[in-house]
Structure 1
């Protein structure tokens, strides 16, 4: 029996059938995932391994591996990659950046004979076509903005003329950036590459205090949307470089603010903490590394966001923290005689381990100051034990001779693979470690002035 609802019901059934079909098509498409493949058109060794690395906070994590076929083609087997930035690499130094977006079915690349950005042609993928066309333009734009902001931050407040000129430059850079980003959107529409580019844009307002107050208002630490990109590391470097006074207290205030802003998302918080540990491990001051370790890395759940490199550096840093027992080693001097650290240390109340290289400009600039300290303190039971990370004996001996160095000089000429360098986790020169007669570490720093401040306090201690 028909009624007035019969036609409507029939239409509803048809609509539901179409919805089911469309849903099935979407599901099948999602099952197929994203095809990542390409070829080398020039000479390229068959069987070469290609590694796909995922950018995760400040880390690069291995995702997938494939090999180049005899015809120069390659294809990755995995097809479901999270939205984010990636690196295609044959080695740690040979790689190109990619963007993988699940909304795209295919990323098809073509190279000539090497895996290099200038040889990469994007055949399929709007994300990567946009990146290929605009990355160099954006990098140049942001570099100009960054340099101008750094100049602005260091200008004395009474230099009115220079401040006016920098503000004029910032307004002009702002117009240039707006035009560039508008052109990117006009050419390629909404892309993940475009979103992270806008989020990565330096703050270029002409009021530094207002910039600092509004720095986190973009929300880059509010959710995990950008953990698969360079946004978090680059924005944190910007904040630490421009909006702190570079003092230990200033850095402490900065990391407190950063981690307060990230506290709403555990993943973002953990990755921000991991990046800050790596940053201060490499750049110093060392006090900030230990501050983060003692004040923030107190929850075991956060360790899941630390890279293996960070975990290794934490273990090494804890072994060379103030109060730790210094590990012993023996290295040859210029005459080939073995010098044992503990024997040298036991002869003086305080010894300074000085890690250096003849090819390190900052090390050579430090030499006259260090010699003055040595001459001033050597009569107070103080000795310097200089460990060269050179690899060529002549370079080492020439630097000692030219600088007229008469403290203890030792080296195994293994460079960064030196036994002492590995024991004490040295990853930059110059580096300084103060050790007392009982082989206890008193101070660990990359700054000579911090060493001098410690020595002055030590010499003036009545009970020394």
Structure 2
């Protein structure tokens, strides 16, 4: 019985050993010897080292481990210099090329994707050389000359040749990851704009069409794209260049892309995490609204199963802290004592067209610089319906009061003190000072966390709008 048990364990161990995959990437690069090669992989925004191998005196290197390479795009580097890219569709691949012409001299074995990939790269590389020569000729020629016209014609013909090749290539290798990757890179070709009723061309058509068709060739169901150079650049360009950088537009764009990725778990996970981090840390005013939206509508609704309980708790607390302080929402009340520690002051009791909530500390370097600037601005605009509610962030008030007196801060001043403790540091998310908010007469947040010059410019804008409405 004991022998049978031991035999079973041996069979199981052998089965597991053979089941564990091992990748083998063999490389020969003429022109390199006795050095170290690196293999890296793409993932989202970055490129990360996967393995190292020694290059021998004949230019051979062998990357091999008991591990599986995820399908996607990888690179071979010598030092910090990339020698060539390749696609993984097989755990056993080999590449032979040269230092002087890594694309044109490339020969591949193992799997079909690199045969297709280098067919494309070799064609494109050859045409790029021709294009560079033609562009140089055109730049050196006098506009309107025969040489200029011929170069222009040849460039147009070359562009058409590339389009024909890509169309034929995509048909011949339909279903391959190479075609999926190349389609993801393609930008839409914008047709001639239609005419408006007045006979003029629609000047907005090109942008609208380009944005609407930007992802026409992008396969959102293929998680392998996240491990290529195409993914992050495509998503970032769409978010940063094709959308106005205001919260409502960005939120709509986030939802659009995440809905496209609903059936691609890895793509969805990376993109949601990336957007969440990006908009929580964004320096663009008001973009924390996108972070709050993502938190409430994805994480807190169970759409991020990869999050641990600890991570979810931390994110949820951050969302709940920022939500009441979003631009467009009524600010939470703020209750403190006056400088004499006798009278309670409330934000909601302040009657002003505009209220600046300024939370600061006399020992804060930025506050020492910003507070005199705010004082100067206050003296300039207080007659136009602006009040400042200056709130000391320290528990000890002696330095704070000295600073107030020294700089004649004749606005409304309040703080904690004595046996009184307010919760404003939590309700106003005070992690650093100064914190500056601009509120309207109903205490709705108009702006926040602005420097004083920007605050002054914004107030001037609102003054002009008020004057315009008054005269209508």
Structure (1 or 2) with the larger CA radius of gyration: 2
Bigger relative contact order, structure 1 or 2, given CA contacts below 8 A and separation 6+? Answer: 1
Q: TM-score range by the shorter chain?
A: 0.3 to 0.5
> Scaled by the length of structure 2, what TM-score is found?
0.46
Normalised TM-score (structure 1) = 0.47
